[in-house]
Amino acid sequence: MKPIEANPEASQLVYTSLSDKYTSFRKRTEEICAPLSIEDHVVQPIIDVSPPKWHLAHSTWFFETFILKEFFPDYQSYNPDFDFLFNSYYESLGAKMMRTDRGNITRPSVLEVMAYRSYVDQHVVELLELHDDQAIHNLVEMGLQHEMQHQELLYSDIKYILGHNPTFPVYDQACRVDKQMVSAEPDWKAVNEGIYQIGFQGDGFSFDNEHGRHKVYLNAYALANRLVTYGEFLDFLDSGAYERFEYWHAEAWNWIKEQGIKAPLYMHRINGAWHRYTLSGLKKVDPNDALIHMSFYEASAYASWAGYRLPTEAEWEVAAGQFEWGKAWEWTNSAYLAYPGFKAPEGALGEYNGKFMINQMVLRGASAATSPNHSRATYRNFFHPHLQWQFTGIRLAKDL
pLDDT, tens digit, 9 for 90 and up, residues 74-87: 999 999 999 999 99
Phi and psi, residue 21, nearest 5°: -65, -45
Residue 25 CB-density burial (10 A; 0-12 exposed, 13-18 middle, 19+ buried): buried
Residue 11 neighbours by CB under 8 Å, 6+ apart = none
pLDDT at 353: 86
Residue 15 has pLDDT above 90, yes or no: no
- The span from the CA of 226 to the CA of 327, in Å, is 10
Query: If DSSP states are collapsed to H, E and C, what string results for the chain?
Result: CCCCCCCCCCCCCCCCCHHHHHHHHHHHHHHHHCCCCCHHHHCCCCCCCCCHHHHHHHHHHHHHHHHHHHHCCCCCCCCCCHHHHCCCCCHHHCCCCCHHHHHHCCCCCHHHHHHHHHHHHHHHHHHHHHCCCHHHHHHHHHHHHHHHHHHHHHHHHHHHHHHCCCCCCCCCCCCCCCCCECCCCCCEEEECCEEEEECCCCCCCCCHHHCCCEEEEECCEEEECCCCEHHHHHHHHHCCHHHCHHHCCHHHHHHHHHHCCCCCCCEEEECCEEEEEECCEEEECCCCEECCCCCHHHHHHHHHHHCCECCCHHHHHHHHHHCCCCCCEEEEEEECCCCCCCCCCCCHHHHCCHHHCCCCEEEECCCCCCCCCCCCCCCCEEECCCCCCCCEECCCEEEC
Average pLDDT, the chain: 94
Condensed to tens digits (0 to 9), the pLDDT of residues 310-334 reads: 999 999 999 999 999 999 999 999 9
Condensed to tens digits (0 to 9), the pLDDT of residues 36-59 reads: 999 999 999 999 999 999 999 999
The answer to whether 283 touches 175, Cβ cutoff 8 Å, is no
Q: How confident is the model at residue 5 (pLDDT cuts 50, 70, 90)?
A: very low
Q: How far is CA 145 from CA 138, 290, 361, 372, 374, in A?
A: 11, 26, 21, 11, 7
Among candidate residues 359, 360, 240, 227, the one with its CA nearest the CA of residue 303: 227
Mean pLDDT (whole number) for 143-171: 98
Residue 10 has pLDDT above 60, yes or no: no
Residue 120's identity, in one-letter code, is V
Query: Helices 110-130 and 18-33 meet at what angle, rounded to 10?
Result: 170
253 versus 183: which is more confidently predicted? 253
Least confident of 4-8, 30-34, 236-240, 294-298: 4-8
- The span from the CA of 10 to the CA of 326, in Å, is 10
Mean pLDDT (whole number) for 10-38: 90
Q: Which percentage of the chain shows pLDDT scores above 90? A: 90
Q: How confident is the model at residue 12 (pLDDT cuts 50, 70, 90)?
A: low
pLDDT at 354: 87
- The span from the CA of 276 to the CA of 289, in Å, is 11
Condensed to tens digits (0 to 9), the pLDDT of residues 385-398 reads: 999 999 999 999 99
- The span from the CA of 6 to the CA of 325, in Å, is 14
Residue 7 has pLDDT above 90, yes or no: no
Q: How far is CA 165 from CA 160, 170, 386, in A?
A: 9, 10, 22
Among candidate residues 226, 218, 219, 225, the one with its CA nearest the CA of residue 189: 225
Is the alpha carbon torsion for 166, 171, 174, 175 positive or negative?
negative
345 versus 302: which is more confidently predicted? 302
Q: How confident is the model at residue 4 (pLDDT cuts 50, 70, 90)?
A: very low
Q: How confident is the model at residue 3 (pLDDT cuts 50, 70, 90)?
A: very low
pLDDT at 67: 97
pLDDT at 347: 81
Residue 2 has pLDDT above 60, yes or no: no
Q: How confident is the model at residue 381 (pLDDT cuts 50, 70, 90)?
A: very high
Q: Specify the pTM.
A: 0.95
The answer to whether 198 touches 224, Cβ cutoff 8 Å, is no
Condensed to tens digits (0 to 9), the pLDDT of residues 178-197 reads: 999 998 899 999 999 999 99
Phi and psi, residue 393, nearest 5°: -130, -160
The answer to whether 217 touches 195, Cβ cutoff 8 Å, is yes
Phi and psi, residue 121, nearest 5°: -60, -45
Q: How far is CA 12 from CA 7, 8, 23, 181, 376, in A?
A: 11, 9, 17, 23, 11
